[in-house]
Every structure is written in structure tokens, then in C-alpha cells.
Amino acid sequence: MSQVPAHYSPPIFFKSGHLSTIYCGLVRKVDGVVQKRERIRLSDGDFLDLDWSYSNTPTRKLVILLHGLEGDGQRPYITGSAKLFNQNGFDACAVNFRGCSGEPNTLYRSYHSGATEDLEEVITHILNNYPYSEIYLNGFSLGGNLLLKYLGERSTVPKEIKGAVAISVPCNLRSSCEQLLTPKNILYAQRFKKHLIAKLRQKQPLFPERITDSDIKNIKTLKDFDDIYTSRAHHFKDALDYYTQCSSLQFLPNITVPSLIINAKNDSFLGEECYPIFEAGQNENLFLEIPKYGGHVGFWGKNNCTYTEKRSLDFFNSH
């Protein structure tokens, strides 16, 4: 497949990429979602917290929701998605990545854009303990990159996985990092860095020899964070090696389940290499939609239901 037409035309306020990003990230509120938390133990001894919400009617359909950088299972883009899916016959499982559920994880390592081993453990846990016959993956930003890498890096995926939608995806991590380091994104980058450093300081008492005051002082940018922590904690040579190995772009040709990528043209987090037009044209299972507007996970919608939430539901119902 190649590009599919986009039908997103928001009110004038939400045609601004920055305003839509900020509104949907910081202002939007979602009510009425009841989540039940389950903690699972990972094979390396760490844990993940899963936030479950349920359809009003018994169902064997499940959506696994994957948040973005420094997100969690309670972000409006996650709970808004869960709410719509629950209203339409899907259970929802919102994964909180390591250290993102309100409690520090126990190991030196954490989560990152390519940590598909954790997603694999979640899926295995679900298949072993729940009766779902249809599983769909819905990821945002970092979570979108993660699910695309998961689908494309292995020769087979469980037969229960029927489709995926990835939204505002930094398919090329280096390209996205370069955009985040530009002046137009300074406020976002500072906010991300603040949260990431706060988590490092939480870890510091447990790993004082591996996380020093000097290390933290040397983190001036998000790339520095990936050089000083992400790469060391997850066995990459440096930030660029991490970006190279974990970018989903290289795995897109191998995806065998129907997968939709929605990346807005005015997403300030995404460089040109994050729009996989060629790859979508070469893989019949890959669908690419590039709306003119939407910012970064900033797709507005009527009645507090976003364009991408409805689009994801429609895609899953048709595949």
C-alpha cells in the first residue's frame, strides 16, 4: 500500500501544530474511564504495571495501548483511546513502561524507544492468562516506534495480533532528536529533560557508582541524556548507535499485519526521514496517512474524541 487520504480538518485554533500539541497534552481531560492495575514480573526480575479497562459487554478483542516519552497509562491520549475502545466492544490494556507508573523500577535499566522485549513479555503474559482471540496494538510517539519495531523485527508474530495503529511516530530517531534540539522545540525538550533527570536522581541512591552527580551535570540536551544514560543502561555504544539500532524505519518492510501510521505534516518533532512514504509504497500491509494538521499527538475531535482515536477504531474494525 502507499499513502491513504487524510480527512482531518480541525477548527482554525487546532491548525497550529504547537497549540494542538499543547492542548491535547496539557489541557485535555478525559473522564469516565475506570482502570484496574495489574503488576507483572519480567524475566529479568523487574516489573511492569498494566492499567486495564473493560468493555460493557464480554469481548475477546483487546487493544494494547503504548504511551510516549515520559507518558503513562493515565495520559489523556491513552485514556481517551481506552474510553472509545471500551464503548465499542474492546477491552484495553494500557502499558506503563518501566519507571512510568508512579514507582521507580528496580533495575539500572529503564525503558527506551526500541525495548521490544518488554512488549513481547506483555503480549506473552496476556496470551497465557486471558482468552483474547484478537489483539490490536495502538502506540503513540515512542510507543508507536516501539510497536512498529516489534512487528517488523521478527519473522513471525502471534496469530492473535490482527492490526496496529501508530501515531506521531519518530520512525527515524536521529531525525526526531535533531528536530527536538532546534529552537522551535526548546520548551518541549526542556520539559522532557527535566522529567528524565528527575527519574535519574530517583535511581541515583540505588546505583551511586553508575549515576554520578557529574553525569547528571553533563546532561545539557536530550541527546546528552541518551549518550550518558540510555546508551550505557541498554548496551548501546552511544546515542547515535541507539538511534540507529532502534529506529523503526528499517523494520517497516517486514511488517506482515495491517498497520497504519498517522504522522501530521506540521508535527514539529518529526524530521523528513520520519515520513516513510517509500516504505509504505513497498509493503501492502503498511498504510501511511499524513494529515496537514495535528501537531504531535495533537489531533482534536468533537465531543472530546480525537480524530486519531476514531481513525484507530475504524481501522481495527475493518482489518
Q: Please report the pLDDT score of residue 1 as a whole number.
A: 60
Handedness of CA 190, 191, 197, 198 (dihedral sign): positive
**Structure confidence by residue, pLDDT tens digits, 132-162:** 999 999 999 999 999 999 999 999 999 999 9
Average pLDDT for 94-115: 97
Average pLDDT for 307-312: 98
- Per cent of the chain over pLDDT 90 is 98
**Structure confidence by residue, pLDDT tens digits, 107-128:** 999 999 999 999 999 999 999 9
| H-only helix segments in the chain | 17-22, 76-87, 116-129, 142-153, 173-180, 186-203, 213-217, 222-225, 231-233, 239-246, 277-282, 307-317
Pairing status of strand 134-140 against strand 286-289: unpaired
Question: Would you kindly state where each structural domain of the chain is located, as residue ranges?
Answer: 12-171+251-317
Q: Please report the pLDDT score of residue 3 as a whole number.
A: 87
Beta strands in 1-60 (DSSP E): 36-41, 47-53
Question: Structure pTM?
Answer: 0.98
**Structure confidence by residue, pLDDT tens digits, 171-220:** 999 999 999 999 999 999 999 999 999 999 999 999 999 999 999 999 99
Architecture, CATH, for domain 12-171+251-317:
3-Layer(aba) Sandwich (3.40)
